[in-house]
Amino acid sequence: MTAYLEAQGDNLGRRTVIFVNIMSILSIVFIIIGIASALYSALVLKNGTTFDYIFTAWFWIASVFFGIQSITYFLSFHRSVTDYTDTIHDSYVPGLRGKVAVLVPIFNEEEEMVITNLVAIYSNAGEDSDIYVLDDSTRGDSAPIIDLCRKLGMKYIHRENRNGYKAGALNNVLKTLEVPYVAVIDIDQTPAPDFLRETTAVLAKDPKIGFIQVPQVYSNIDSSILAEIAQAQQFIFYDILTEGKSVAGTLFSCGTNVVYNLDALKSVGYFDENNIVEDIATSVNMAINGWTGVYYNKKLVFGRAPVTMQGYINQQWRWMYGSLSLMPKIVKKILLSRKFSPKQKLDWFATSTWYIFGWFYLIFLLSPILEIVGIRVLTINSLLYLLAWLPYTILLMTTFTLSQVSKKAPLRFVFYNMAANLLIFPLSISTSISVLLKKSKPFTTARTGGNIPLYRFWPQFTILILLPLAAIYLILQHNTFSYITAFWAFFQFTLLMPVFWLNKTPRASSMDDPAFKNSM
């Protein structure tokens, strides 16, 4: 672990951090220039129509939103490079270990995968572990799973009711336990032999740590572009954002591949059963009660990415709905509290608001199209607008790219991360509306569902048709402003292109080859 972190720090270097910091400051300056120009044009010069005012306000609110998100991203990158190694460098002490209960929730999963992964979890758990299989399934015959649990000495628990869903299943067992540590491993995850040994050692060293999280690594990214996009998103989250959050004291657990201090869970009434993302909700409760989390960036658990569009949407919807539902609590208990530092409040604000991104991606997608009918951002003049917006955009994209490349991300991951959230902007919009209306839906996993009807992609396809038409029109105007806007249209068109491949039937992954399974 030490050699890995030292090599990582050496490769990154301080120059990248300094460059990113300078670019971040300049980006903020350019946003301020653009907003000031728009306000002067609207309030003093009184230019534009009502539609121009609405569009301009929406455009710059979007710019501020992404500006705040970018600031927190670059702060996380800075902490990741400069401080993360100091916080985790000497955390693991061999030999420190306490009794641990391993909880494995199951809900209507494929029987073959369940049996294969339960054997792997059992084989790698160690002698100081008790494994609890929490089967909330409502379909199929569980006899083979029950028989396996009996043979291996794992405790099988099935509930007749599903109160609290996953959180309820976990709490049903937690209240009966008398061990210091509790690990939660989803059934599609396979831990390495060192997972519990290393993570419990970190917890044993510092009783103030509420939980320790390790990254999710997908082993089936060869099955589809969608799976690879999901892994790219995991890369930016676990190799940059989560390292930074661990340093800042704003880390939240991710539902699996995590080991909790049972005393911390008891202090907050166990897992939060009122939110569909019980992991983040419980982490918020822990933070409010003074507990902190630690991120241990070592690949100790391997799992499966969603391979179908419906499964991916199920996963993203659950994260979006649950996170946005937490906004009132985060505002009241964290942002308005004196217990948290300004940097922690900024980080929690960005976390709780991120999933409204769809509304702001939409205005950027529409801007070249609206230019055709004469609706544009108000400014003193086009040159000042370009001075404010163009460098800001270039700087953000450059620093976003450099930060990932410096962490050894493949260039295709950079592209996927630019495209991923743009591709699901309609889901962000519809989910945020559902949160406002308090309209939820039944729990589903990322492994549920297959391809979805093409008509469900109508927002993306509509934008894909209109963007090149708008770009051609703008090029024919023969002026610098139109040329740049046309380029922006083509760039966004490129980012939306993967929509044609996301819904394809996945290939069989090499991790499902018989030879691979037999080696587990």
Query: What pLDDT is stored for residue 330 in this prediction?
Result: 97
Asked if residue 43 has pLDDT above 60, the reply is: yes
Residue 334 placed within a domain: no
Measure Cα distances from 54 to 7, 123, 363, 393 in Å.
Answer: 50, 60, 11, 21
Q: What is the mean pLDDT of residues 20-46?
A: 74
CB 350 within 8 A of CB 68: yes
DSSP category for residue 257: S
How crowded is residue 501: how many other Cβ atoms within 10 Å of its Cβ?
A: 11
Q: What is the mean pLDDT of residues 277-282?
A: 94
Asked if residue 516 has pLDDT above 50, the reply is: no
**Whole-number percent of the chain with pLDDT over 70:** 89
| One domain, residues 356 and 281 | no
Q: What is the mean pLDDT of residues 389-415?
A: 86
Query: What pLDDT is stored for residue 86 in this prediction?
Result: 61
| One domain, residues 50 and 76 | yes
Reported confidence tier of residue 14, pLDDT bands at 50, 70, 90: low
Hey, which bits of 154-243 come out as E strands?
155-158, 181-184, 190-191, 209-213, 217-218
Measure Cα distances from 430 to 268, 321, 424, 426, 439 in Å.
Answer: 32, 10, 10, 6, 11
The pTM of this model reads: 0.89
What's the alpha-carbon Rg for the chain, to the nearest Å? 24
| One domain, residues 105 and 62 | no
| One domain, residues 379 and 287 | no
Burial 307-327 (b: 16+ CB within 10 A, else e): bbbbbbbbbbbbbbbbbbbbb
Residue 180 placed within a domain: yes
Amino acid (one-letter) located at 67: G
Asked if residue 513 has pLDDT above 70, the reply is: no
Reported confidence tier of residue 435, pLDDT bands at 50, 70, 90: very high
Asked if residue 168 has pLDDT above 70, the reply is: yes
Reported confidence tier of residue 172, pLDDT bands at 50, 70, 90: very high
Domain count within the chain: 2
Q: What is the pLDDT of residues 187-196, one digit of tens each?
A: 999 999 889 9
Cβ-based neighbours of 502, under 8 Å, separated by 6 or more: 225, 226, 229, 309, 312, 423
Query: What pLDDT is stored for residue 367 in this prediction?
Result: 92
* Helix/strand/coil percentages in the chain, nearest 5: 65, 10, 30
Residue 394 placed within a domain: yes
CB 63 within 8 A of CB 34: yes
Q: What is the mean pLDDT of residues 338-366?
A: 96
Residue 335 placed within a domain: no
Round to whole Å and give the CA distance between 291 and 287. Answer: 5
Asked if residue 44 has pLDDT above 80, the reply is: no
Query: What pLDDT is stored for residue 392 in this prediction?
Result: 74
| Helices 357-371/458-475 angle, 10° precision | 40
Query: What pLDDT is stored for residue 445 in this prediction?
Result: 63
Asked if residue 89 has pLDDT above 70, the reply is: no
| One domain, residues 377 and 488 | yes
Query: What pLDDT is stored for residue 162 in this prediction?
Result: 78
| One domain, residues 72 and 218 | no
Residue 479 placed within a domain: yes
Q: What is the pLDDT of residues 103-159, one digit of tens each?
A: 999 988 888 889 999 999 999 888 889 999 999 888 777 899 999 999 999 999 998
| Residues of the domain holding 406 | 2-82+352-439+453-502
CA dihedral 489, 491, 495, 501 (to 10 degrees): 90
339 or 449, higher pLDDT = 339
| One domain, residues 256 and 120 | yes
| One domain, residues 300 and 379 | no
Amino acid (one-letter) located at 306: P
Q: What is the pLDDT of residues 200-209, one digit of tens each?
A: 988 888 889 9
Residue 56 placed within a domain: yes
Mean predicted lDDT score pLDDT of the chain: 87
Pick from 53-67, 259-273, 314-328, 461-475: least confident: 53-67
Pick from 125-129, 227-231, 359-363, 468-472: least confident: 125-129
Query: What pLDDT is stored for residue 383 in this prediction?
Result: 72
56 or 132, higher pLDDT = 132
Task: Quickly tell me which residue has 């587990």 as its tokens.
Answer: 520
Residue 338 placed within a domain: no
